[in-house]
Structure 1
Amino acid sequence: MPALKIAFHTPLNRYGDGAVSGDRRMARQLVTLLERLGHRVAIVPAERSFMREPSEAELVANQAAAQEVIEQLARAWQEPAVRPDLFFTYHCHYRAPDLIGPVLVERFALPYLLAEASDAPKRFAAGWTPAAGLARAAIRQADLHFCMTPRDREGLAKLLPVDVPLIDLPPFLLADGERPARTGAARPAGEPVRLIVVAMMRKGTKENSYFALARTLAQIADRPWTLTLVGDGPQRAAIEAAFADLPSERLRWLGRIGNAETRAELAAHDLFVWPGLNEAYGLVYLEAQAAGLPVAALHSGGVPAVVEPGRTGLLVADHDEDALASTIATLIDQPGLRERLGAAAQIFACEERNGEAACAILGTALENALQRHRTRHGGARR
């Protein structure tokens, strides 16, 4: 297909804001793959529309800011050489609705693609109804959806007509530097098993997972393990307090470190432990597996989309901390099991989720979206 001009928008977090998170990395990876396919990507110059709590005033302010961007782009897009061929939004849900794409695609008759959109009737409650309604309207307007987890696909399938394409795009990991050699397995026998977690320390699901991990490890304090914690954030003091009853000599707090240092730390450990309560999916699981680490986690949210239970890690029922403690204990006690799972994990992350399949999926889907849009709108272009 010919090279396309693509407007790329990220309502959840402003693209290129310098902060660290899995969704920011996935946004960059999507842009990388689109460019590999030969397309020109222009980032929509907008602040995020994310709201942590429902707020009518904040939503109105976000809409006003979005309108300024809409007017700016509408003026620029009067020039055919600048106007995009399609609009691609990564993330659209009740906390971060796309306030820009729906207006511009209607005004300029553009194909509209959404990746990792989500919808659920329960979001129309507790003050979220206006924002959830805006997100739902955008979701219904899209010509095609990329679904990164089965959970998101299920929600969209209940909302959309059967003729709206729902394309599975499993989470992937592009290498952003040389991966260090695996060193964890080479340590002398008898040393404590080295556990590691990498996650931001912020309110909500991340904080709750840290608290669950502290309670889980307290149940197996009789096992020989140490834990390295990589990450920082506003909830660090509360998280440190949650681990205060565990022996301090078992804990190693590294704070925020760079990507290369994180990869080296992962390669020097034995087991990645992160409950993953209500995780969207978590690219960090793929990063850990790429380093050859098996995973112990909950079967929660989108975690099964990035960990293959029984092959690359062990997942237990959501919120079952007793089962998670027992699973971690089993992996501590059985080095052979850890090595088998870790070897499969590395193949899974590095060979099956390295972006090649995602690139092919994107290429085919873009062509299908253009064709679908022409069919739906009769080839109109304002």
Structure 2
Amino acid sequence: MARALMSAFAHMGAQVDLASTFRSRDGVGDAALQAALLAAADTLIPDIITQGRVAKWQAWVTYHSYYKAPDLIGPTVARTLGIPYLLIETTRARKRLGGPWDAFARASEAACDAAHVVFYLTERDHEALAKYAPDGQPLIHLRPFLSRTELPAQAHGTHLLAVGMMRASAKLPSYELIAQTLALLPDTTRLEIAGDGPARGQVESAFAAFEDRAQFLGALEPEALTAAYSRAGALIWPGVDEAFGMTYLEAQAHGLPVIAQNRPGVRDVLFPRAYPEVDLGAQGLADFAAQPTPTPDSIRAYIRAHHLLPAAAETLRGGLEQVGLT
């Protein structure tokens, strides 16, 4: 997504400089690590300010600042240079204040407060941003998007396709739901599974009863994944614990209907339909799979209008205009 954002700014004619490769993430809530990272960031700021003055930066943009990985550099650099500070896909998590991520949660909140414009990707993120936003802070909906200007070839298949990493912590429940759904679908229903990871053994076990109906493709390079989308008839991915999920956009760009649950974040990137509620489980997904689907042309038109580079570039341009930049 970060690379796609850089492409979107370039698409609108802006020059994009990567100011730093510093990583601030603390995944465990270690106060000593947070203190060390705060100190390390402080040592980098003077040289970055000098870099910005030489390059005559007009704005600072940070992607995905949050309590585990806050922007420890941008607010100070932008304030010192007197340039607008913009955040993309930031979140507020005040419940983390006072806990093991206290220092980072405070830094994340301070970055949110300092932002001249905040771009949010999902309605779920917007709720907290709007609740605690400083007076007059613009909050702009930037829809998740593919880093391309044109759609790929339309798919022409009949079988189901699942695409996802095989991580036990977050992805496995989606695979388990797919296996349960496949058991409820006609015996002629075939499934291809693209992806790999440390939980592959568990995923394969979930599909052991479908040896003749489920095929594992493994991790695919971009061209091979495009081919997998092109020969499918629909994408099935329930979306358990997904922030939003780029695979939905990739599949729909090929015109594939999506079999997914009505989940926060996920619904922000799906063609508008009445997706099954979470509590309906596999039966809800199976019933939904049997419903008439939108035409590939209508799905692709929706993606073209809302989720490609040109649409993203226009949204970003609107945010820059709000701080006096064009």
Of residues 287, 304, 307 in structure 2, which corresponds to 1:350?
304
- The normalised TM-score by structure 2 is 0.89
**Secondary structure of 2:89's partner?**
strand
Shift of 1:212: 3.1
Shift of 1:202: 2.5
Of residues 324, 327, 347 in structure 1, which corresponds to 2:284?
324
1:253 match: 216
2:237 match: 274
For the structure 1 residues 81 and 201, does the alpha-carbon distance in structure 2 shift closer, same or farther, using more than 3 Å as the test? same
2:69 match: 96
Query: Do 2:259 and 2:289's aligned partners in 1 also have CA atoms closer than 8 Å?
Result: no
| Distance in 2 separating the partners of 1:324 and 1:125 | 41
Query: Do 1:297 and 1:324's aligned partners in 2 also have CA atoms closer than 8 Å?
Result: no
User: Where does structure 1 lack aligned partners over 5 or more consecutive residues?
Assistant: 1-25, 185-192, 332-336, 372-382
1:217 match: 182
For the structure 1 residues 361 and 325, does the alpha-carbon distance in structure 2 shift closer, same or farther, using more than 3 Å as the test? closer
**Secondary structure of 1:89's partner?**
strand
Which letter maps to 2:108?
A: A
User: Where does structure 2 lack aligned partners over 5 or more consecutive residues?
Assistant: none
Which letter maps to 1:137?
A: A
Query: Do 1:46 and 1:69's aligned partners in 2 also have CA atoms closer than 8 Å?
Result: no
Shift of 1:182: 2.5
Identity among equivalent positions (%) equals 33
Query: Do 1:277 and 1:318's aligned partners in 2 also have CA atoms closer than 8 Å?
Result: no
RMSD after superposition: 2.4
| Distance in 1 separating the partners of 2:311 and 2:83 | 26
Which of the pair has the greater relative contact order for Cα pairs under 8 Å at 6+ separation? 2
| Distance in 1 separating the partners of 2:169 and 2:105 | 19
1:20 match: none
* Alignment pair present for 1:228 and 2:192: yes
Shift of 1:141: 0.8
Query: Do 2:24 and 2:69's aligned partners in 1 also have CA atoms closer than 8 Å?
Result: yes
Query: Do 2:194 and 2:219's aligned partners in 1 also have CA atoms closer than 8 Å?
Result: yes
Aligned runs of 1:170-319 on 2, under 5 Å?
Answer: 170-175=143-148, 179-184=152-157, 193-218=158-183, 220=184, 222-244=186-208, 246-310=209-273, 315-319=275-279
Alpha-carbon displacement from aligned partner over 1:261-313 (angstroms, at most 9, x marks no partner):
11111111111011112322112111101111101111112111111332xxx
Query: Do 2:8 and 2:147's aligned partners in 1 also have CA atoms closer than 8 Å?
Result: no
Alpha-carbon displacement from aligned partner over 1:111-148 (angstroms, at most 9, x marks no partner):
10001111134444763333222211111110111111
Which letter maps to 1:227?
A: L
| Distance in 2 separating the partners of 1:341 and 1:127 | 49
Aligned residues: 325
| Distance in 2 separating the partners of 1:125 and 1:237 | 39
Shift of 1:107: 2.6
Alpha-carbon displacement from aligned partner over 1:62-97 (angstroms, at most 9, x marks no partner):
3344334324313434xx332422110011112221
1:369 match: 323
Which letter maps to 2:202?
A: A
2:87 match: 114
Give the structure with the larger strand fraction.
1
| Distance in 2 separating the partners of 1:169 and 1:353 | 9
